[in-house]
Amino acid sequence: MLIHTLYQPIIHISKGKILGYEALTRGRGKWELPENLFRRSYEEGFTTALDLTCIEQALQILPRLGSKKLLFVNVEPATLCHAFIKGREGELLLRKATRHARQIIFELTEGMKGRDFPLLKKGVSFLKKKYFRFAIDDVAGIGSKLFRLLALRPDFLKIDISLVRGFGKNRFQQGLVARLVALGQRYGTLLIAEGVERKSELAFVRRMGIPYAQGFYFSRPKPYLDTP
């Protein structure tokens, strides 16, 4: 199964500059979407191996990233514990990335299962000791799971595309985003709006006080880095 990495910029809205890039894994054919890739990996038991391969490919861009921009990389909870903490292969991978540690943000999905939390907590503690940072990805609601994750003091919280779309007539969505902004301020977590595709969506994100955004409005994922 062949995979490759695309990069999508994350924009500092008020400055109009690139904060960094999210590394997005893609496969071939029916495995193009990462959810299909990882669904198969869970079914056949090679999730950690696949995840390490995706991370290693994503990190290859670091020498061309520059010293000030960030790289957001997705990671599975099992990889955090079994590979990074206990596994030699994961340890070697992080050792190679140590000189760029302060530029690498590991993204952990908010959609994780409750049983993953102990692994996640151990993994986050391990990453922080190595000076890596982390983000909570795909946040689409507020509940006990989110508060447990916020207690780990994430550096970034990424607001799911479902809350950015159709905001205009949906007061519930507007209220939910406002609460997420308040939580970000309370926990010292910076917010990123995902899936911004229209000027009106960007205006909404700016009005809500969210400092960063990514989406097709700015750039589609590409196999190379956009010019700053």
Over residues 49-82, the pLDDT tens digits come to 888 888 999 999 999 998 899 999 999 887 887 7
Quick: pLDDT tens for 20-49.
Answer: 999 998 877 666 666 777 777 666 767 788
Class of domain 4-213: alpha beta
What does pLDDT average to over the chain? 87
CA distance 145 to 132: 22
Structure tokens at 210: 């969210």
Name the H helices within 60-207. Answer: 77-78, 88-97, 117-129, 144-150, 161-164, 171-187, 199-207
Mean pLDDT of 145-167: 91
For residues 7 and 23, is the Cβ–Cβ distance under 8 A? yes
In this predicted model, which residue has the larger pLDDT, 111 or 186? 186
pLDDT over 70 (residue 1): no
Domain ranges of the chain: 4-213
Q: How far is CA 82 from the centre of its chain?
A: 20
Spatial distance between the Cα atoms of 51 and 122, rounded to a whole number of angstroms: 18
- Residue 197 CB-density burial (10 A; 0-12 exposed, 13-18 middle, 19+ buried): middle
Question: What whole-number distance in Å separates Cα of residue 214 and Cα of residue 13?
Answer: 10
The helix/strand/coil state of 215 is coil
Q: Which tens digit of pLDDT belongs to each residue from 93-110?
A: 888 888 999 999 999 875
Res. 145 pLDDT band, cuts 50 70 90: confident
Question: What local confidence, expressed as pLDDT, does residue 112 receive?
Answer: 65
